Amino acid sequence: MTKSGITRRRMLCSAATGGLVAAAGSGAINTAGAQSARRTFVLVSGAFCGGWIWRRVADRLEQGGHKVFAPSLTGLGERSHLLSKDVNLDTHIADVVNLIEWESLENVCLVAWSYAGFVGSGALERIGDRVSSVVWLDAYIPADGQRVSDLAVETVRKAIQAAIDKGEPGVRGLVKISTDAIVAERDRAFVESKATAHPVGTYLQQIKVSGALQKMAKKTYIRLPKFPQSLFDKALADCKSDKSWATFELPDVGHMAMLDAPDRVSELILQAA
């Protein structure tokens, strides 16, 4: 995608080669050229997961000489001991903002997965000048004033209410994964062993955004249609209708594409930077 707003639309097909196949637009993807420049990536995980979920992608990007940060948000992953009722959406936004500010990062490619669409959108309101490109991987694109609980599926809303009723600081999830729509069977036990309760307060706080995400010059939305989520379908459709977004689909992998297909996810992220 160029600064003039010209965008390429691609679909990553399920061919045995795992190669990139054009869905629309022109020209082959020049991954060799994209890999020649050293980039900085901040990879933000979704609900119940920490930075651990990005390890395979981070390894591939780092092997190419790139700088990669995959923070675990407060109360999750190795920071699960910090789970409390005081952790809210602002806390997670501050996690990302402070990482970028304290590490003095510039020209960042910010990657947000799933729930992290809220976190990334909020963070861009404060550090958008330090970010040169964004990748939303099966992620929410929230409007001002929305809460995660407003958009969550019914099972998650029930889990949120159960946590509130019990006075618990976190929402339980991913106790048992039984579908490829989330992750392939080979990684289910691994994910179940790492997943933690998600801070309930992050679901309940309204986000304050003024459109910083939409103002980004380079924007990519990647949809994983194997995972049924109407709001992600709508996000993809909205992005396809907006020439400032590049859009892709990985139809043969689950919601945790960074585990199912780390090579292809790394390729797309690198191309989008």
Q: Which band of pLDDT confidence, cut at 50, 70 and 90, is reported for residue 177?
A: confident
For 99, other C-beta atoms within 10 Å of its C-beta total 17
Q: Report the largest interatomic distance among the alpha carbons of the chain, rounded to a whole angstrom.
A: 56
pLDDT of residue 23: 37
Ramachandran category for residue 114: left, alpha or beta (phi over 0 → left; psi -120 to 50 → alpha): left
pLDDT of residue 20: 38
| Residue listed under structure tokens 């390729």 | 267
**Which DSSP category does 51 fall into?**
G
User: Cβ neighbours of residue 250 under 8 Å, at least 6 residues apart?
Assistant: 12, 222, 223, 224, 257, 261, 264, 265
pLDDT of residue 100: 98
The distance from CA 122 to its chain's CA centroid, rounded to whole angstroms, is 13
Q: Which band of pLDDT confidence, cut at 50, 70 and 90, is reported for residue 12?
A: very low
Q: What is the pLDDT of residues 90-108, one digit of tens each?
A: 999 999 999 999 999 999 9
| DSSP sequence for 144-181 | TT--HHHHS-HHHHHHHHHHHHHT-SEE---SS---TT
**Over the chain, what is the mean pLDDT?**
89
Query: Domains plus CATH for the chain?
Result: 9-22+31-272 (3.40.50.1820)
Mean predicted confidence (pLDDT) in 57-82: 98
Q: Is the pLDDT of residue 13 over 60?
A: no
User: Cβ neighbours of residue 264 under 8 Å, at least 6 residues apart?
Assistant: 12, 18, 20, 250, 253, 257
State the Cα–Cα distance between residues 253 and 225, nearest whole angstrom. 8
Both structure tokens of 141: 């694109």
State the Cα–Cα distance between residues 74 and 263, nearest whole angstrom. 28
Residue type (1 letter), 218: K
